[in-house]
Structure 1
Amino acid sequence: MRIFTPLLGALALILALSLGTARAQGFLSAYEDLPLPPGMTEVAESGLSFDMPNGRIVEAFARGPLRATDIIAFYAATLPQLGWTRDSDRQYRREAEVLTLETQTEGRNVVVHFTIAPE
């Protein structure tokens, strides 16, 4: 029984972490594999995406009644599953791209500004 209890705890933790991507609200239209946390919606027509010789630049915004810390925690759990490596709480790298997350409180909502640019 002593082995069984820690095993159940470990399985619960693995399950909780693996559900991060599965519970995503949707994905940004400007960047096809960047998920949105539950409760967040993309700000319509706010995104832009264009290719440059050294890579692409993508900007998008999402808004929702969440706390900034919960949004940052969502991405900390989800982005590594999608191949992103964490540089800091708000910056990730994948291949030759850098993703930056900026948050701003607007009334009861938090707005997230996503920027993806070449290194």
Structure 2
Amino acid sequence: MSYDLYVVRPDIPEDFWDYVCDRDHEERSYDQYGRYFNYTYNLGPFFAAYHVRPSTDLDGKTGGECAELIRQALMSIYLQPLHELRSEYNPRNENGELVDWGSVDGAIKWLERVHDYCREHPDYAVRERS
């Protein structure tokens, strides 16, 4: 499972989002309408610890509000030793082995991309629809 986060122009109906929102990391063809971001639930505890969990902290806010929340989170994250964050939040299976889907490093990069897009589109609506 994953978080499905849309940052979209507020006048676009929800049933059109999949058609007009560019996917994160894809060529920008409809970028003026919105963007779709996706990340694994495995990093939910990491997002929650920094108050930027897509389904509870970002959903329903504007791009400007989310940009500020994410900026504050990233400032706190950058102050932490990365090896400690990895040790605490990188997902592991029931045997304690690291899993291949999701990582603190990937989550930080994802937050940076969401932040940048939200900052560029402060009046867009942010909705999580997983």
Same-fold call, TM cutoff 0.5: no
Structure with the greater alpha carbon radius of gyration: 1
Q: Which has the higher contact order (CA 8 A, sep 6+)?
A: 2
- TM-score by length of structure 1 reads 0.25
Indicate the structure with greater strand content.
1
TM-score (norm 2): 0.24
